[in-house]
Amino acid sequence: MLSSFVNCFKIPELKKKILFTLGIIIVYRIGCFIPTPGVNGAALAELFRQKFDSAASGSMFGIMNMFSGRALEKLTIFALGIMPYISSSIIMQLLTAVIPSLEKLSKEGQAGYRKINQYTRYGTLFLALVQSFFIALWLESPHAFQGIQIVNNPGWGFRLVTVCTLSAGTLVLMWLGEQIQEKGIGNGISLIITAGILSSAPSAARMLMMLLSPQAGGGVSQIQPLTLIIMVFFLVAVIISITLITQAQRKIPVQYARRIVGRRVYGGQNTYIPLKVDTAGIIAIIFAQSIILFPATIASFIPNQAIQGMAMWIQRGHVSYYMIYGLLIVFFCYFYTAIVFNPVDVAENMKKHGGFIPGVRPGTQTADYLDFVMTRVTLAGALFVCCIAVMPDWIMASFKVPYLVASFFGGTGVLITVGVMLDTMKQIESHLLTRHYEGFMKTGQLRGRR
């Protein structure tokens, strides 16, 4: 493994791509410390830690803060992060499956892809403007921050500056991600999200060291060394299991009939259709978190008894919360899989090119068979995603650690980090193998998420 990393810098083209990607990530991290004008960043960060981190990150602002690399708690120029682009991409992907004109556009090759990408950018700008405006109103609200004034000079001037600053920051991040995609290595948007998530690792390690050190006066640490060893082994097991499930596939064998045209023979080869066990991945968790955390977020700002009662019923720690959360994850896993995988289209393409699954008739029976297999495979992936999603809560309750520490043992952050690392390593390995260098794996093949 170490020799493979050394070989990465022996190839001039690959070395240039890696250094360019690292440079873009450094620029992103510098931007996470440039404050937005008119905001008391120190007071906001302290209140953010008290209100959201101590509450197990039980709000949408906690999720947005994690994806933005903790830039939201200080309201820097990258406070919105890349989430508006992610939301716009998911919306466009869903609309492509239900709007015939967009579906036709997606099948036009590179020209159609550029057009859809342009629509995604417009959607990103719209979502950034809306989200930044509501964040400006939220910062001006005295009820949201226990009467402490976060904004020095509230009013339409502050709102306009905040909307322009945060929206421009999101567009800059989108441009940086596209630059990595064109001139760097790996998926640019995903790498920016991963860099933001991993930026919390030093704070989590510092917090863990504080829990290991003896408390003042008592002389007994909150976490014993044996507990730390168990947590480390548990972290390794979680990463290995996520890696295996992320790359897991159900291979459906396909045979193509042999055709003789003149003196040439076409077809006759055997191949397979790879059905991903975890097709939805983090998208199901993001959708489920957005829905189930919305009442708790609203209840923290609106002093209404009915809303607060409903929020208490689906608050973290209650059995009803985990039941609804798990059902939402399973639902969105099936929903997203149905959007991106159409067994009828796959069956028609196979029939058109003379392919068939052994023992299954082409056409309708093939589509039914693929749908049956995909339903069973998706159930296994959805249940695994449910376990990973609730893992931080279980770690926090079992080992008595803060949510910031527990979030590195499961949840959305670990799924994103492992998946992005696999994609990046796959691209680097392809460069190494092309130049006849040894890849990361001596046997087998490293597969990405797609």
pLDDT in tens, 94-105: 888 788 888 888
Q: How far is CA 130 from the centre of its chain?
A: 22
- How many CA atoms lie within 13 Å of 331's alpha carbon, on the beta-carbon side? 11
- The most confident of 67-71, 162-166, 222-226, 404-408, by mean pLDDT: 162-166
Binned at pLDDT 50, 70 and 90, residue 57 comes out as very low
Q: What is the dihedral of CA 162, 168, 173, 177, to 10 degrees?
A: 160
Q: Of the ranges 153-162, 185-194, 373-382, 440-449, which one carries the lowest mean pLDDT score?
A: 440-449
54, containing H or E segment:
none
Answer whether residue 3 shows pLDDT above 70. Answer: no
* Cβ neighbour number for residue 339 with a 10 Å cutoff: 17
| 281 vs 114, residue with greater confidence | 114
Q: What is the mean pLDDT of residues 418-425?
A: 84
Q: Exposure pattern of 15-29 as b/e (b: 16+ CB <10 Å)?
A: eebbebbeebbeebb
How far, in Å, CA of 409 to CA of 130, rounded?
33
Domains of the chain with CATH codes: 1-199 (1.10.3370.10)
Q: Does 433 score more than 90 pLDDT?
A: no
Question: Judging by DSSP bridges, how do beta strands 270-276 and 259-261 pair with one another?
Answer: unpaired
What pTM was estimated for this model as a whole?
A: 0.79
User: What is residue 418's predicted lDDT score, i.e. its pLDDT?
Assistant: 85
Is the model more confident about 438 or about 194? 194
Nearest Cα residue to 338 out of 365, 312, 364, 375: 375
Task: Look at residue 154 and give its three-state secondary structure.
Answer: coil
- Is 208 a residue whose pLDDT tops 90? no
What is the model's pLDDT at position 217? 47
Do residues 282 and 412 make contact, with C-beta atoms less than 8 angstroms apart?
Answer: yes
Query: Would you state the pLDDT for residue 39?
Result: 82
- In angstroms, rounded to a whole number, what is the distance separating the alpha carbons of residues 166 and 183? 26
pLDDT band for 216, please (50, 70, 90 cuts): very low
Tens of pLDDT, residue by residue over 274-321, are 888 888 877 787 778 777 766 666 665 555 566 556 656 666 667 777
Return the pLDDT at 24: 92
Whether the CB-CB separation of 32 and 200 falls below 8 Å is answered with no
Kindly give the pairing relationship between strand 264-266 and strand 270-276.
Answer: unpaired
Q: Pseudo-torsion of CA 144, 145, 151, 154, nearest 10°?
A: 40
Confidence of residue 165 (pLDDT cuts 50, 70, 90): very high
d(CA 126, CA 450): 28
CA–CA dist 397, 28 (Å, integer): 34
Look at the alpha carbons of 399, 404, 408, 410 in this order and tell me if their dihedral is positive or negative.
positive
Greater confidence (382 vs 264) lies with 382
**Lowest mean pLDDT across 132-146, 219-233, 427-441:** 427-441
Give the mean model confidence (pLDDT) for residues 180-208: 84
Helix axes 156-183, 12-31, angle to 10 degrees: 170
409 vs 111, higher pLDDT:
111
Look at residue 172 and tell me whether its pLDDT is greater than 90. yes
* Matching residue, tokens 């006849």: 436
Residue 56 pLDDT > 50, yes or no? Answer: no
Q: Give 5-33 pLDDT, tens digit per residue.
A: 777 777 888 888 889 999 999 999 998 88
* Percentage of the chain exceeding pLDDT 90: 10
pLDDT at 445 over 70: no
